[in-house]
């Protein structure tokens, strides 16, 4: 399928800074920027840039989830405005990496929302070999299956006890229409993919979403009209209360302390009790940021010998590395200490995950 209007709009959003562009061969992967999110610059085009993959002739290679929000994050997702009475399903929110299925040279591959060459994309593509990909091709060669990639080295917070698996979340036609969940389950059954758990929870505009005693990411609520919203475990939300309550410098200073017994007194009482959990979540995110920086730098290093000038290096970085990592690439090339920048990006991404 070709959609040249969509291609032109993606290019325009890249030019104004709302979307980053990651190029792999003749494929262009589009992802909204932190600035777009933080400053609420959403429009109908950049909402689609959550791993959308296209070619310059307008061919849609993969069209995954649009951006969707937390309950109460925006006016349209406030509980009182949600279409509860029309029906909904409460799904487990998996805690791995999003894997976007696409065909290249007749073979299935996975991308993540920001990269076609991330460690998770490469591992997820390898993991596809465990499943019946021939049947996947027969069932949805002109569609985009979207997975959660789960394996031990990619643990975020939830411990899946050493398991490796791909969980099929949804399938979209390349025009953006979503397949019915029953049809998605049939594909999962025939190909061997896992599906997320469904919860039997009754909700309405006056009901507070209940959570299990054990830590988990939360829920994705899918309404009959196709609207999705997220409901995150309050233990995840507490970290954002911390980030909102303090300055960026204050949060970083608190978290960088090896012994924080004195500094913790500045936090609200309920946050003091939860700070060990909060600190653990932040440190996991920081390790993930460091891993991705190293991954991008390895990619740059593999091309570095063919780039003769600083300008050539800069142009390559701008065309192949997400913009939030540009400074890290030059910093590592110049052997600079990037510790402060790593903390800033860690906090920035945690704030973004409030989404």
What number of helices (H) and strands (E) belong to the chain?
11, 13
Nearest to residue 168, comparing CAs of 214, 119, 205, 135? 135
Percent of the chain with pLDDT over 90: 50
- 355: pLDDT confidence band, cut at 50, 70 and 90? very low
Dist. CA 199–CA 219, nearest whole Å: 9
For residues 92-104, average pLDDT? 91
Q: Give the pLDDT score at 156.
A: 63
The string of pLDDT tens digits covering residues 143-167 is 999 999 999 877 665 667 889 999 9
Q: Give the pLDDT score at 38.
A: 76
Mean pLDDT score across all residues of the chain: 85
The string of pLDDT tens digits covering residues 124-135 is 999 999 999 999
The structure tokens listed for 298 are 């390895």
Dist. CA 292–CA 224, nearest whole Å: 37
Dist. CA 181–CA 311, nearest whole Å: 49
CATH 3.40.50.11540 corresponds to the domain 64-233: no
Largest pairwise CA distance in the chain: 63
Q: Does the pLDDT of residue 105 top 70, yes or no?
A: yes
Q: Does the pLDDT of residue 337 top 80, yes or no?
A: yes
For 129-143, 175-189, 228-242, 254-268, which range has the lowest pLDDT when averaged over its residues? 254-268
Contact (CB, 8 A) for 87 and 223:
yes
Q: Give the pLDDT score at 245.
A: 55
Dist. CA 233–CA 353, nearest whole Å: 13
Q: Give the pLDDT score at 119.
A: 84
Dist. CA 266–CA 269, nearest whole Å: 9
Long-range contact pairs involving 243-250 (C-beta distance under 8 Å, separation at least 24): 243/347, 243/350, 243/351, 243/354, 245/271, 248/344, 248/347
Which span out of 167-181, 259-273, 276-290 was modeled with the highest average pLDDT?
Answer: 167-181
Contact (CB, 8 A) for 14 and 21:
yes
pTM of the model: 0.71
What is the enclosing helix (H) or strand (E) of 127?
Answer: helix 119-127
The string of pLDDT tens digits covering residues 109-125 is 999 998 898 888 999 99
User: For the residues of 201-249, what is the DSSP string, one character each?
Assistant: ----TTPPPP--SS---EEEEEETTS-EEEEE-HHHHHHHHHHHHS-HH
Which 8-state DSSP code applies to residue 66?
A: P
Q: Give the pLDDT score at 203.
A: 85
The CA–CA distances, whole Å, from 21 to 24, 119, 151, 319 equal 10, 18, 27, 7
Dist. CA 145–CA 133, nearest whole Å: 12
Q: Could you tell me where in the chain the CATH 3.30.470.30 domains are found?
A: 64-233
Q: Give the pLDDT score at 322.
A: 87
Q: Give the pLDDT score at 260.
A: 36
For 55-64, 222-231, 240-249, 308-317, which range has the lowest pLDDT when averaged over its residues? 240-249
Q: Does the pLDDT of residue 178 top 60, yes or no?
A: yes
CA 76 from centroid of its chain's CA atoms: 21
């Amino acid at each position: 399928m070709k959609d040249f209007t969509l291609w032109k709009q993606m290019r325009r959003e890249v030019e104004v800074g709302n979307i980053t562009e990651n190029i792999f061969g003749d494929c262009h992967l589009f992802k909204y920027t932190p600035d777009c999110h933080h400053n609420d610059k959403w429009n109908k085009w950049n909402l689609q840039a959550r791993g959308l993959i296209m070619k310059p002739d307008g061919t849609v290679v993969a069209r995954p989830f649009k951006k969707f929000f937390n309950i109460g994050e925006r006016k349209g997702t406030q509980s009182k405005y949600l279409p509860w009475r029309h029906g909904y399903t409460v799904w487990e929110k998996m805690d791995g990496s999003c894997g976007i299925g696409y065909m290249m040279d007749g073979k299935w591959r996975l991308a993540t929302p920001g990269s076609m060459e991330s460690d998770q994309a490469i591992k997820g593509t390898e993991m596809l070999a465990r499943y019946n990909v021939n049947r996947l091709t027969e069932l949805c060669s002109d569609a985009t299956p979207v997975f959660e990639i789960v394996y031990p080295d990619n643990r975020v917070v939830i411990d899946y006890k050493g398991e490796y698996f791909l969980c099929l979340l949804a399938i979209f036609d390349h025009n953006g229409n979503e397949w019915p969940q029953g049809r998605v389950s049939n594909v999962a059954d025939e190909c061997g993919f896992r599906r997320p758990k469904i919860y039997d929870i009754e909700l309405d505009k006056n009901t507070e979403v209940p959570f299990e005693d054990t830590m988990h990411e939360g829920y994705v609520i899918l309404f009959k009209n196709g609207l999705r919203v997220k409901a995150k475990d309050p233990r995840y939300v507490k970290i954002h209360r911390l980030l909102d309550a303090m300055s960026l410098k204050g949060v970083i200073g608190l978290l960088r302390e090896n012994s924080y017994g004195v500094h913790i007194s500045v936090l609200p009482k309920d946050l003091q009790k939860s700070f060990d959990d909060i600190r653990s979540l932040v440190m996991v995110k920081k390790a993930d940021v460091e891993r991705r920086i190293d991954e991008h730098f390895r990619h740059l290093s593999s091309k570095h010998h063919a780039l003769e000038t600083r300008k050539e290096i800069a142009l390559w970085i701008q065309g192949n590395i997400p913009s939030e990592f540009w400074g890290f690439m030059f910093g590592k090339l110049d052997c600079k200490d990037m510790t402060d920048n790593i903390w800033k990006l860690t906090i920035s991404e945690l704030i973004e995950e409030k989404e």
